[in-house]
Structure 1
Amino acid sequence: MITQLESARQGILTSEMKAIAGQEGLDETFILDHVAKGEIVIPCNPNRKYQKTVGIGTGLRTKVNASIGTSSDICDIGLEVEKARAAEEECADTLMELSAAGDMDKIRRTVLDSTNLPVGNVPLYQAFKETIQKHRNPAKLDPEYLFDLMEQQLADGLSFMAIHCGINQYAIDRLRKQGFRYGGLASKGGTFMVAWMDINQRENPLYEQFDRVCRLMKKYDAVLSLGNGIRAGAIHDSHDRAQMAEMIINCELAEIGREMGCQTMVEGPGHVPLDEIEGNIMLEKRMSGNAPYYVLGPIPCDTGAGYDHISAAIGAASSARFGADLVCYITPAEHLALPDVHDVREGVRATRLAVRIGDLAKYPDRRDTEKQAALARRDMRWEDLSRHLLFPDIAEAVRSARAPEEKQTCTMCGDFCAMKKGMELFETDIKEKR
């Protein structure tokens, strides 16, 4: 297997690179150059015949990931398929299958068969769940079994994996010496790995055998997403010594993986106050050599439960603005319950809107759609406006449910319409706008 990264280094423009250039309206040599540098990754495991081609990284539209998966309380394969399809219908770019209960092989394969999105996962979930089932003790996890499981999952067609390679004994010592945290540990896989290391008094095998991780990922040209298992779960823990220790290690590992020909990206927080987001992204980009950055939210406050998709959308807009490349959605159920289909739809919509706002600031030359929407709204050309909206079905449903007496206006203003009066006042002065 020759990876996208290795192909680009040899000057080979793959069909996936060509597709991304077409999608993004960018020159093919731009894509080739940045894939060769490891600044753009393409999750595209060839074991999946039908899969959407997605580019993540420098110069590209900020992408949105949706996460689904079972828990011990709610385990329904049919529901997960519904959620996967809802995420794709709402135009998510990637999907993470994060089941932690049930027949995880069957769930993963069923989800892979139900969507065309590139699918990722966290292999530690299944590894620890099955170890607990077998031994009633997560500390009995066998590293050899973990590596075998990762290969099995990749062979099924996963195109990226969040692997917690950056947790090591040094980072755990930082947690102890700083007196733990306000928000505790927020990562399921990360927390179980920390426990495994503590009980066994051993180093993280994913860190110790990082070259083996990279070889596995290269075999299937899957993207290695360096997971942040010690991410902050509260804004008062943001950028503490433990988080920064893991971030430094992950950025170093991203560089090592890239040198080996493995496509890599770095994962970020987490809970981060708004004023720290720019600095966080600057640090990741500087320390990793501009590796693509995959951020989880981020959530800039701890008191928005029930509306955390809105909190996270504010963080996501800021993240996209300052250079994040892939944003994992947050749903209204975050911190409260397992998301349902409605939560998935709301989470994707909020995050798509957020990254659109961020991209408009990141790429000021890419605002033509906004201009055309504004002109259509000014001229009250409702059908034209709909074509430029992110959520035309929602907009049309609201308008038709509260239809105005006069078709040209809306019921917000009725016969007191500012747009209509403005057009009448300046009809002879209006210049053609393009």
Structure 2
Amino acid sequence: MKYTTQMDAAKKGIVTDEMKIVAKKENMAEKDLLELIAEGKVVIPANKNHKSLNPEGVGEGLKTKINVNLGISQDCCNIEKELEKVKLAIEMKTDAIMDLSNYGKTELLRKDVIGMSTAMIGTVPMYDAIGFNNKQLKDLTVDDFFRVVEKHGQDGVDFVTIHAGLNRETARVIKENPRLTSIVSRGGSLLFAWMELNKEENPFYEHYDRLLDICEKYDITISLGDACRPGCIEDATDAVQIKELITLGELTKRAWKRNVQVMIEGPGHMALNEIKANMLLEKKLCHGAPFYVLGPLVTDVAPGYDHITAAIGGAIAASSGADFLCYVTPAEHLRLPSIEDMKEGIIAFRIAAHAGDIAKGIKGARNWDNAMSKARADLDWEAMFSLAIDSEKARKYRAESSPEHQDTCTMCGKMCSARTMKKILNNEELNI
């Protein structure tokens, strides 16, 4: 039996090769995964043209996934450096990579990234529209917008961020409800400007069926972008954000009728006490579609440390139902991230995702922690290093401060509680 997308296959009861791989990774029965995909609660972003992909599932009952952003800009256009980041991201077990290149002809980098990446690849076609069409923003036509999406599909992009919920009605709400930071989404601001300059409706909203045609053709997952995500904690959960979210819920149902997979993107910046409610709102208003959040950053005053402020929010979001976390680096709000910035962001968000999985009871999530705890109780340093989320840093710290007795560390020495209990319970001599 033929099928067009992973969702189409699931509705027809067909277990695809990608579903078999994901079910095995997630310790989930194939029939259970099939049902979740058919309902739209799980997606497997897997473009038919991405041949090197090792597929992952995103959504209800699955491990929380993390995404890494990279790409060239006008000020930093070193393609080789960005490809180094791709290699590092894959080595560090990230689940997705978004190429957010927004300068010049981005096709060469995108094709290289897709060709070498086992992780799913996402893009924001709006970033590429000006360079691809070689036009000023105001002069772009409806055909220009969709030509870029088609090209990204041909190249093998697995999911695309499309800000289709920013329609003229949402724009009215923005104007009538002034924000502290207005629109902070790059793609959203460009679309808003195009709409204002041309006095036209958002092409991705007005011609949404045309977008669905392209996504169905290549099995691209639509990541419905939150153009109106809050850019500071003051703007969180306001009328603008919720207005767009309601529209995204409507667009989700339209996509599902066409068997197009959907994720919903969310905040942004948000105080701790608002995160849980926002996760519930998204799941309710968008019918259980997987939720993809940036952070959220829980305070606005820590430039240089925003990987920490965002990971705090990310852990709470994941524990409250978010399915996919977009990492934030220490360089957020300051510059294009370096490789070292990227590494710190990945580690912070792998911690956040895992902490969220423990809290929401993902099958097997605690096994890793229990293995580490046993290694600590046994004073088995090699086992601790092998289990550490960053083995290199753990080894480095121990090597930099070597204890007199190798079964201890330099914090407690022979007064180490693990050493004491191990010796006492084993009826060994205790010499402190």
TM-score (norm 1): 0.95
Equivalent of 1:79 in 74, 78, 81: 81
Alpha carbons 1:128, 1:192 under 8 Å: kept = no
| Aligned 8 A contact 2:18 2:55 in 1 | yes
Q: CA deviation at 1:54?
A: 0.7
Paired with 2:363 and 2:75, the residues of 1 have a C-alpha distance of 48
> Is the 8 Å Cα contact of residues 52 and 116 (structure 2) preserved in structure 1?
no
Query: 1: CA distance between counterparts of 2:388 and 2:336?
Result: 30
CA displacement at 1:364 relative to structure 2: 6.5
Q: For the structure 1 residues 232 and 425, does the alpha-carbon distance in structure 2 shift closer, same or farther, using more than 3 Å as the test?
A: same
Corresponding residue number in structure 1 for 2:414: 415
Post-superposition Cα deviations, 1:249-306, rounded to whole Å, max 9, x if no partner, equal: 1111112101210011111011111111111110110111100001111111111110
Superposed counterparts of 1:86-105, under 5 Å:
86-105=88-107
Structure 2 letter corresponding to 1:58: E
Q: Is 1:394 the counterpart of 2:396 in the alignment?
A: no
**Separation of aligned partners in 2, 1:62 and 1:249:** 25
Q: Which residue is equivalent to 2:10?
A: 8
SS at structure 2 position matched to 1:314 = helix
Match of 2:335 in 1: 337
Counterpart residue identity of residue 20, structure 2 = K
Q: Which stretch of the first structure deviates more once superposed, 329-338 or 341-350?
A: 341-350
Residue 369 of structure 2 aligns with which residue? 370
Counterpart position of 2:155: 156
**Structure 1: where are the runs of 5+ without partners?**
430-434
Once residues 371 and 85 of structure 2 are traced to their aligned partners in structure 1, the CA distance between those partners, rounded to angstroms, is 33
Q: Which residue of 2 aligns with 1:385?
A: 384
Q: After TM superposition, list the pairs within 5 Å mapping 1:134-283 onto structure 2.
A: 134=135, 137-178=136-177, 180-283=178-281
Question: Which SS does the other structure have where 2:423 is aligned?
Answer: helix
**One-letter amino acid of the counterpart of residue 47, structure 1:** N
Contact 2:62 2:362 in 1 (8 A): no
Residue identity matched to 2:240: A
| Residue among 31, 36, 40 paired with 1:29 | 31
For 2:371 and 2:116, how far apart are their aligned partners in 1? 36
After superposing on structure 2, the runs of 4+ consecutive aligned residues of structure 1 that deviate more than 6 Å are none
Does structure 1 conserve the Cα–Cα contact (< 8 Å) formed by 2:64 and 2:322? yes
Return the letter of the residue paired with 1:8.
A
Shift of 1:411: 1.6
- Look up the match of 2:326: 328
Paired position in structure 1 for 2:286 = 288
Deviation at 1:41, TM superposition (A): 0.4
Q: Secondary structure at the match of 1:261?
A: coil
* Per-residue deviation, residues 364-392 of structure 1 (Å, max 9, x unmatched): 65312212211210110122223332222
- Structure 2 matches for 1:302-321, cutoff 5 A? 302-321=300-319
The secondary structure found in structure 1 opposite 2:81 is helix
Q: 1:16 to 1:130 in 2, by over 3 A?
A: closer
Q: Distance in 2 between matches of 1:92 and 1:369?
A: 17
Residue in 1 aligned with 2:345? Answer: 347
How far is the alpha carbon of 1:410 from its aligned partner?
1.4
Specify the SS of the correspondent of 1:109.
Answer: helix
| Contact 1:80–1:111 under 8 Å retained in 2 | no
CA distance in 1, matches of 2:285, 2:130: 31
Deviations 1:3-46 (A, max 9, x none): 00010111101111111111111111111111111111001112
Identity %: 39
Cα deviation, 1:311-366, whole Å, max 9, x if unaligned, reads: 00000100110011110000000000011111111111100011111111111653
Instruction: Give secondary structure in 2 for the equivalent of 1:344.
Output: helix
Contact 1:268 1:295 in 2 (8 A): yes
Which of 47, 56, 63 in structure 2 is aligned with 1:61? 63
Contact 1:123 1:161 in 2 (8 A): yes
Q: 1:130 to 1:365 in 2, by over 3 A?
A: closer
Q: What CA distance in whole angstroms lies between the structure 2 residues aligned with 1:8 and 1:67?
A: 30
Output the TM-score relative to the length of structure 2. 0.95
Distance in 1 (alpha carbons) for counterparts of 2:388 and 2:58: 23
CA shift at 1:158, angstroms? 0.4
**Deviation (angstroms), 1:415:** 2.1
Structure 2 Cα separation of the partners of residues 12 and 255 of structure 1: 22
Q: Which residue of 2 aligns with 1:40?
A: 42
| 1:218-239 deviation line (CA, Å, top 9, x unaligned) | 1101110000111110110001
- CA deviation string 1:414-433 (max 9, x = no partner): 2221211122333369xxxx
Residue 115 (structure 2) pairs with residue 113 (structure 1): yes
Please tell me whether the aligned partners of residues 75 and 102 of structure 1 are also in contact (alpha carbons under 8 angstroms).
Answer: no
SS at match of 1:278: helix
Paired letter, 1:66:
V
Aligned with 2:160: secondary structure? Answer: strand
Distance 1:52 1:393 in 2: 25
How far apart, CA to CA, are the structure 2 residues paired with 1:419 and 1:294?
Answer: 40
**Aligned letter for 2:68?**
A
The residue that corresponds to 1:432 in the other structure is none
Q: Which ranges in structure 2 are unaligned for 5 or more consecutive residues? A: none
How far apart in 2 are the matches of 1:348 and 1:369?
18
Return the offset for 1:245: 0.9
Aligned residues: 425
